[in-house]
Structure 1
Amino acid sequence: MLHEFSRTELLIGKEALKKLADSKVAIFGIGGVGTYAVEGLARAGVGKFVLVDDDCICLTNINRQLHATRKTVGKPKVDVMKERILDINPKAEVITHQMFYLPESSDKLIFDDYDYIVDAIDTVSGKIDLVVKAKKTGIPIISSMGAGNKMDPTRFEVTDLFSTSVCPLAKVMRYELKRRDVSSLKVVYSREVPIKPQETEESSCAVGCICPKGTTRKCTSRHQIPGSISFVPSVVGLIIAGEVIKDLIGYTYSN
C-alpha cells in the first residue's frame, strides 16, 4: 500500500527507510538553518526528533525561517516546529527543549541514544561545547558554519572543518577545537567572502528591537546581527539534512 514515504522508498529501499524511522536526531538551533534541516529530515522519514532552542519566533525571522509566519510570531520555535513535524508524520516522536544551550545544561540535552546531532547554533561558545561533548560521547555531528551575510547558495560545500578557508566562524572554530584536541568535524561552509551588513538606524535591532515577549536573548544584547536572505540558510539546512540521512543509511555515491 502506498504511503507518505513511498517515493523515498523507491529511491533508498524499504530497509533504509525503516532505519530512518528508527533513528533519533537532535537538532540544536531551530532557526534559518535548523528549520530546513528538520524539514528535510522529517520529509525523508526520520522518526525521532529532539529540538533544542530557547527563542520565540520574531517578525524579523519571516525572511528566512521555515516556521515563521504572521500567525506564529511570538510562539516558541520548538513548539511550532514540533507541530509541523507531526503534520508531516503523525507517527514521529518529538521531544522539545525550550532552552539555550550552555555547557552547564549539556547533561540535560545530550544523551547517548542520539543517532546524530545537528549543530545549527548561532553562538560560538555553544557550538564549541556541543561539538566537544558530541565527540566525547561518540555521537556523529555535523555543524553549520556562517550562513549570514552571504548571497550565493552555490558556494556552500561539505568538508572537514580543518580544510575550510575564508569563513570567519570556521577560523575561530578551527582554533578553539584544536585547543580542545578535536581533530575533525564535518561542516557545511561557504567560500564566499561575507558581505558587510548595510545597517541603518531604521534597520538596526539595537535601536528598534521588536523581539516578542518572553524572549530571553534579545537582539539588543548580541554583538552583531548578520544580514540574511531566504535562499541561503534554507540551502544549508537541506544540505545538512542530506548528509545526516546518507550517513544514517550508509549511502555512498556509485559514480
Structure 2
Amino acid sequence: MSVTSDPRRLGGVARLYGEDGAARLARAHVVVAGAGGVGSWAMEALARSGIGRLTLIDGDVSALSNTNRQLHAMDGNYGRGKVALMRERIGLINPDCRVELIESFITPENAEEILPADADFVMDCIDDLRGKTALVAAARRKGLKVVTSGGAGGKRHPERLVVEDLARVKGDPLLAKLRTNLRKFHGFPAGNASGRSVKFGIPVVASDEPVRQPSAANNQAAGQPEGARIGFGSGVVVTGTAGLMLASLVINAIAGERED
C-alpha cells in the first residue's frame, strides 16, 4: 500500500516503517493542539511521515514575534490563522493528508466537545496551563491516548530534552503545575504506599535545563508602559526538537514494529 497516491513522494516512510506500518500511519487520525514553536514542527513531521488525517487546533494568528521559532512565521503569513497556514503547507507536502481545523483556544468549557472521539492520538503542544490542563484531562476522560510537551522558553540546549512519564518528570515548572492540577481537580493518582509517584501513562518531552532569564533591557515590551515584560526568550533548536521528538513518539506508536 502506498503512503500517498504517488509512491515516490513518501516512499521512504514505507521503507523505514514497512508497508504495514506505512498503512497504519495512512489510516491514523492525530489531533495536535497548539501550532506554535513546538506544535508547528510536530504537525510538519506528522505530515511528512504519512499520517492520513490531522485535526489542528489553535485560535491564534501568526505574528512577527513568532519568527524565531514557529514554522509558519514569515513574510506574507503574519496576521493569518496559524492552523490555516499549516493546512496550506501540509497540502503542498502531503496532498493525501486530510486536514481539519478548529480555530479556537482550548478551555475547560470546550475541551471535551472539541476533541474528536475517533482520534488515535492527541498531542498537547499548548504552553498555557489552563488550556493544557483542560486538554489532557478531557483526553483522559474520553479514553484517548495523549502525549504532551513541557516548557521550552529560556532554554538553549536541545540535548537536555528527554522522554518521561508526566507523573515523574523533573525540572519543568510548567509540567509540575500541570501534574498538580490533574491530581487536585481531575482525579489523577498521587503517590503509592512507598511514596513513589504513580505513573499517569502520559509520555512527555521535557527538559531539566534551568530557565535562562532575559536581561532587563531585552525584556522590556516595546511600546508598552515601563515595567511591562515579554517573557522568556526561546529558540527553534529547542522548540523544534521538542516538536519532532513528540511527533516521533506518536509515529512510532502508530506504525508499530516493522514486520520483515
**TM-score, scaled to structure 1:** 0.88
Residue aligning to 2:207: 190
Give ranges in structure 2 of 5+ residues lacking alignment. 1-5, 190-199
Match of 2:110, SS state, is helix
**Aligned pairs for 1:239-250 within 5 A:** 239-250=245-256
Off by >6 Å, runs of 4+ in structure 1: none
Q: 1:53 aligned to 2:53?
A: no
**Partner of residue 99, structure 1:** 104
SS at match of 1:101: coil
TM-aligned CA deviation for residue 37 of structure 1: 0.4
Note the C-alpha offset of 1:107.
3.9
Q: Which residue of 2 is the match for residue 215 of structure 1?
A: none
1:203 Cα deviation after fit: 4.9
Equivalent position of 2:195 in the other structure? none
Give distance in 1, aligned partners of 2:72 and 2:27.
Answer: 25
Give the CA deviation at 1:250.
Answer: 2.5
What letter matches 1:134 in structure 2?
Answer: A
Task: Count residues with an aligned counterpart.
Answer: 238
> Is residue 155 from structure 1 mapped to residue 160 from structure 2 by the alignment?
yes
Q: Which amino acid aligns with 1:41?
A: L
Instruction: Give, as a single letter, the amino acid of the residue that structure 2 aligns with 1:18.
Output: A
What is the match of residue 244 of structure 2?
Answer: 238
* Alpha-carbon separation, structure 1, partners of 2:151 and 2:19: 36
* Alpha-carbon spacing, 1:157–1:71, altered in 2? closer, same or farther (3 Å): same
SS in 2 for 1:239: helix
Task: Kindly provide the CA deviation profile for residues 127-178 of structure 1, in whole angstroms up to 9, marking residues without a partner as x.
Answer: 1111111111111100111111100000001110121111111211221112
Report the equivalent of 2:223.
Answer: 208
Q: Over aligned residues, Cα RMSD in angstroms?
A: 1.8
- Does structure 1 retain, via aligned residues, the 8 Å contact 2:219–2:231? no
State the shift of 1:97 in Å: 1.3
CA offsets 1:102-140 (integer angstroms, 9 cap, x no match): 111224411211110010111101111111111111111
- Return the offset for 1:28: 0.5
Worse-superposed segment, 234-243 or 125-134: 125-134
Deviation at 1:226, TM superposition (A): 2.2
How far residue 224 of structure 1 moved from its aligned partner, in angstroms, is 5.6
When the two structures are superposed, what TM-score results if normalisation uses the length of structure 2? Answer: 0.87
Residue 129 (structure 1) aligned to one of 126, 134, 158: 134
Between the aligned partners of 1:171 and 1:13, the Cα distance in structure 2 is: 38
